[in-house]
């Protein structure tokens, strides 16, 4: 079965009400940021997505920022933060650095942390 993120990539990045209802929390969305990106994506010289504006299903806005890009696997992001700003209240979610195997596949993804 495909993940929500995979289904979203296939459907132009739009969440349906059913998919939103199926997500447990904002943490789940913060772990699948591709469904939140709205507008231009800033990329580094290797094509790595290092920044973007976000639009959350609840109407909140935010920003994605890569905090660690892989030097071993150009184009890969190992850690990032996203913000969720709604009615003047800001929340920050961080993906701590992942661990990759020799082929670049993620073999350990720590849980999203909110600060």
Measured CA angle at 1 (ends 113, 108), to 5 deg: 35
Residues paired with 62 in a beta bridge: 54
| CA dist., res. 64 & res. 100, Å (int) | 21
What pLDDT is stored for residue 82 in this prediction? 98
What would the pLDDT profile of 65-82 be if each residue is shown by its tens digit? 999 999 999 999 999 999
Indicate the average pLDDT of the chain: 85
Span of 21-35, 67-81, 98-112 with lowest mean pLDDT = 21-35
What pLDDT is stored for residue 17 in this prediction? 61
| CA dist., res. 53 & res. 65, Å (int) | 9
| The model's pTM | 0.78
Show contacts of 6-14: CB within 8 Å, 24+ apart. 8/32, 8/34, 8/35, 9/34, 13/37
Residue 57 CB burial class (10 angstroms; 0-12, 13-18, ≥19): middle
């Amino acid at each position: 079965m495909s993940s929500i993120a995979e289904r979203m990539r296939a459907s132009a990045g739009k969440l349906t009400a059913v998919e939103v209802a199926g997500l447990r929390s904002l943490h789940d969305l913060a772990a699948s940021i591709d469904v939140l990106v709205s507008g231009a994506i800033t990329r580094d010289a290797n094509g790595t997505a290092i920044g973007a504006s976000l639009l959350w299903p609840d109407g909140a806005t935010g920003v994605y920022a890569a905090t660690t890009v892989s030097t071993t696997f150009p184009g890969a992001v190992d850690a990032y933060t996203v913000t969720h700003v709604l009615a003047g209240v800001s929340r920050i979610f961080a993906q701590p650095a992942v661990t990759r195997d020799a082929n670049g596949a993620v073999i350990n993804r720590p849980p999203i942390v909110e600060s």
